[in-house]
Structure 1
Amino acid sequence: MTDCSPAEEWKTSWPVPLIAMLGIAGSTLMPTTIGVFLKPVTSDLGLSQIAFTASFMVQILVGLIAIPIAGRIADRIGARRLLLIGIGPYALTLGLFGTATGSVWQWWGLCAINAIGLACICIPVWLKPVVEEFRASRGLALAIALAGIGLSTAVMPLLATTYVQALGWRWAYLALGATWAIPMLVLVFAVLNRTRQTVTVVVRTSMPARVLRENLLSRTFCCLALAGGIYACASYGLFIMLIPMLTLSGIGLAASAGVVSVFGLSSLVGRVLVGILLDRMSARTLGVVVFLLPIPATLMLLQIDGSLTVAIAAAALLGIAGGAENDILAYTAARRFPETMFASVYAVATAAFAISASLGPLLSSSLYSAYGTYNIFLIATIPMVITGAMAIWLMPSGQARPVLAA
């Protein structure tokens, strides 16, 4: 796509980020509906809550291999083709959860199968068409696409609850998958630009693995992975412990849940606001500011003393930072690496972010068990986010230059 004004981009390509938003909402429905399925699944199958939640670590471990492979395939054959191949099998692997008989190993095996299907429709694959279609307003377009995470958080638990009550949890998984997959197949087939996907395949297939390896070993990628990984560990640890910490401080459970809602709404605001700013100012400067936002929030939480006002202010800052952080990392990857290997590079980064995010709740829980307070983890997040901000600042300046096959 040649360079054009933001108005021209939106006039011709506006459906692309909206389709990506809906796609990302479906790709994240497993973690966003865990609270709905936890009790009925564990009660029916006799699984412990630890065994049930550990299944997501299985998915992360499988994703460490599957997601980078899917990203590479998307760069070679086009995101549209991979999505058309992967949407149906992903929905079917969701339906397979309904066949579980009670063995923890079977449940983990089903999670591993689902993770393979999920890799074909993972976030980097949905973002690739957005990166290809937008330049002048790429930040806002990526923000709209990534809003699918918030959309999933808001809609999928309600939809899952409706299906569980009406159909039981076994059929609810299949119903969720079908409700999402059928319209997405139509949208991807009919709307995503098939001409552009076909044209770019010629370039992709000639791109040597050596070039990808050089990009993955570059200072830019190392800084990006370090920043995103450290931030994911800190932010997920903070989010998971937010309600328990608030209730321990004297805030009621219902009010604490309301504070979490503030977090979710603020993340949507932060995502769109930063998406607009990314098209108008330095991503590196904006990234440093965003990565440091959890520090005042952490200081507030250390002095919360049962204050609902302080809790809301801290949650708002954490939400803005959490929403904006995804935008900045995706935008930076799109700017610093060639479009022909965006999915390959960002998929590897996403796998690193996922494993780091899984360590955050483990670290916060371990520190609480050892010291009987969440303050230790709160204090530990300060040097963590400072390190992430430094990694953003140390990334080389400039935009990715075209990489030619040798």
Structure 2
Amino acid sequence: MRRSLYFPGWNVVAGSGVGVAFGSVPFFAAGFALLAGAMAKDFGWSQPEVAKAASIYLLLQTIAYPLCGWPLDRWGSRTFALISIAMFAAAVLLLSRIDGTLWQFYLAFALIGIVSAGTNVVSYARAIALWFNRKRGLALGIAASGQALGSFIIPIVAHRMIAAHGWSWTLVAMAAFELVVCLPLVALLVKDSPTQLGLLPDGASQAERVASAPVDHGMTVGEIIRTGVFWKLAISFAIMGLSFYAIAPNIVYILTKKAGMGLADVATIQAVSGIAVLFGRIGFGYLLDRVHAPFVGIIALALTSVCAMTYATTAVPTLIIVASTLNGLAIGGDTDLMPYLASRYFGTAAVSRIFGWFLFAFFLGAAIGPIAFAQLSATFGSADVPLMLLAGLQVIPALLFVSIGRYRTSPDEAQALRGAAAASSS
């Protein structure tokens, strides 16, 4: 088969990146603190009351992630992503209409959590795993880096729009953007498999077919969840989710109370973190194709630990910015790891469902994180002790990553992959 100068799989990566950039994860992680802060100011809500909405959203999105696997396998990435984007826009529009009662606030975030799981990487990981094998880590990293783009844009735009037009019209604008921009681009660019265009993964030639075909060990979901590797990874991702989301929704509280910063300063720091996520996505994706993935995970955990310790021990603005940068780099590694490890240890046949369960674990921890952090901060009178506890907690997933061993790749597959790599470098 003749090799084309441009591989259409990169269109899939671009379309996935657009969908991920303005999916529910960056909307929540980068926009929740500002939007909820403005709503709390208008309606007189307390910080623990606002944090409960975060936990409700995260808990319900956690439950939704494993449920994404079956429709993804049945309908494919493109169709499921389009349906999810439309429902997410409708839920955001509903949030803009609340009248100040807490139950409406909680109900709106519950709905967002239920319907928006498919606006994130889980919808696109299956398509990317089928389009790429040798460059899978880089492709996943570039697509997931769309979250960094959203994390950079959303806090800046949201802050300015809230100041100019209020939080309600800001949410209306966000919903319109989903329908007018994101939906058409995903529909145009995302294709479910290279076989639809008569192509092979990575744009490989026929001679490279064995090496570039997706690795599939034929394991069922039931077989996978009975392995020790699955549970070690699930526990690790749960702790990662708890750690990141303990900080993200409470960042306004941390920086205004401890460092004396205003909302504009917090928005700027969030934007810096968003840029760091971009470099983390691409950088960790690049590393995943070259370094054993569990070791890449340990690097991400170390960055999280240093970030938490820095927030706990200093109020110096420069060091706060450094800590935010490290946190952004770390979350870049966390999200790249889940689909990559799912495909490398368990194959592509069940990658959507296994990735869904890893996301379930990640967001189960994330649902606990915000309210636990808020309650501990209230108990100790500051965020210092909870932050130090988060720093020490990273030891547990680091030890689990060390213990999971090599990828489940047969000797024949490993030899084929080495042969393909040698051929591409010659």
TM (norm. structure 1) is 0.81
1:376 and 2:385 equivalent?
Answer: yes
The change in CA–CA distance for 1:113 and 1:370 in structure 2 (over 3 A counts) is closer
CA distance in 2, matches of 1:194, 1:398: 25
1:20 and 2:16 equivalent?
Answer: yes
CA distance in 1, matches of 2:323, 2:41: 36
1:176 corresponds to: 174
Q: SS in structure 1 opposite 2:404? A: coil
Asked if the contact 2:130–2:193 (Cα under 8 Å) also holds between the matched residues in 1, the reply is: no
CA distance in 2, matches of 1:168, 1:272: 35
Q: SS in structure 1 opposite 2:298? A: helix
**Which amino acid counterpart does residue 145 of structure 1 have in structure 2?**
A
The change in CA–CA distance for 1:249 and 1:242 in structure 2 (over 3 A counts) is same
1:118 corresponds to: 116
1:287 corresponds to: 297
The change in CA–CA distance for 1:309 and 1:66 in structure 2 (over 3 A counts) is closer
Instruction: Pick the aligned partner of 2:335 from 326, 336, 339.
Output: 326
Q: How far does residue 398 in structure 1 lie from its aligned partner after superposition?
A: 1.7
The change in CA–CA distance for 1:307 and 1:156 in structure 2 (over 3 A counts) is closer
The change in CA–CA distance for 1:362 and 1:228 in structure 2 (over 3 A counts) is same
1:218 corresponds to: 227
Q: How far does residue 226 in structure 1 lie from its aligned partner after superposition?
A: 1.0
CA distance in 1, matches of 2:320, 2:193: 50
**Which amino acid counterpart does residue 155 of structure 1 have in structure 2?**
I
- How many residue pairs are counted as aligned between the two chains? 388
The change in CA–CA distance for 1:321 and 1:83 in structure 2 (over 3 A counts) is closer
Q: SS in structure 1 opposite 2:60? A: helix
Q: How far does residue 283 in structure 1 lie from its aligned partner after superposition?
A: 1.2
Instruction: Pick the aligned partner of 2:275 from 265, 288, 291.
Output: 265
The change in CA–CA distance for 1:106 and 1:17 in structure 2 (over 3 A counts) is same
> Once the two structures are superposed, what CA deviation does each residue of 1:192-216 show, in whole Å capped at 9, x if it has no partner?
22565879xxxxxxx9xx9212223
**Which amino acid counterpart does residue 93 of structure 1 have in structure 2?**
A
Asked if the contact 1:301–1:314 (Cα under 8 Å) also holds between the matched residues in 2, the reply is: yes
Greater shift, 146-155 or 171-180, is seen at: 171-180
% identity of equivalent residues: 24
CA distance in 2, matches of 1:373, 1:39: 19
Q: How far does residue 74 in structure 1 lie from its aligned partner after superposition?
A: 0.3
1:399 corresponds to: 408
CA distance in 1, matches of 2:193, 2:311: 52
2:416 corresponds to: none
CA distance in 1, matches of 2:338, 2:403: 14
The change in CA–CA distance for 1:282 and 1:376 in structure 2 (over 3 A counts) is same
Q: SS in structure 2 opposite 1:340? A: coil
Q: How far does residue 190 in structure 1 lie from its aligned partner after superposition?
A: 2.5
1:344 and 2:349 equivalent?
Answer: no
Asked if the contact 2:151–2:270 (Cα under 8 Å) also holds between the matched residues in 1, the reply is: no
CA distance in 1, matches of 2:29, 2:308: 25
CA distance in 2, matches of 1:327, 1:365: 28
Asked if the contact 2:304–2:330 (Cα under 8 Å) also holds between the matched residues in 1, the reply is: yes
Q: How does 1:192-341 map to 2 (within 5 A)?
A: 192-193=190-191, 196=194, 211-239=220-248, 253=262, 260-300=270-310, 303-304=313-314, 306-341=315-350
The change in CA–CA distance for 1:109 and 1:222 in structure 2 (over 3 A counts) is same
The change in CA–CA distance for 1:113 and 1:227 in structure 2 (over 3 A counts) is same
> Once the two structures are superposed, what CA deviation does each residue of 1:38-97 show, in whole Å capped at 9, x if it has no partner?
355446666655444422322223223322112221022211121233322221222222
Asked if the contact 1:219–1:396 (Cα under 8 Å) also holds between the matched residues in 2, the reply is: no
Greater shift, 183-192 or 137-146, is seen at: 183-192
The change in CA–CA distance for 1:339 and 1:185 in structure 2 (over 3 A counts) is same
1:204 corresponds to: none
1:84 corresponds to: 82
1:98 corresponds to: 96
> Once the two structures are superposed, what CA deviation does each residue of 1:164-191 show, in whole Å capped at 9, x if it has no partner?
5676544442331221223333223322
Q: How does 1:48-87 map to 2 (within 5 A)?
A: 50-87=48-85
Q: How far does residue 328 in structure 1 lie from its aligned partner after superposition?
A: 2.2
**Which amino acid counterpart does residue 18 of structure 1 have in structure 2?**
A
CA distance in 1, matches of 2:326, 2:57: 30
Asked if the contact 1:274–1:324 (Cα under 8 Å) also holds between the matched residues in 2, the reply is: yes
CA distance in 2, matches of 1:157, 1:77: 33
Q: How far does residue 124 in structure 1 lie from its aligned partner after superposition?
A: 0.6
CA distance in 2, matches of 1:12, 1:327: 21
Unaligned runs of 5+ in 1: 200-206, 402-406
Asked if the contact 1:163–1:175 (Cα under 8 Å) also holds between the matched residues in 2, the reply is: no
1:358 and 2:367 equivalent?
Answer: yes
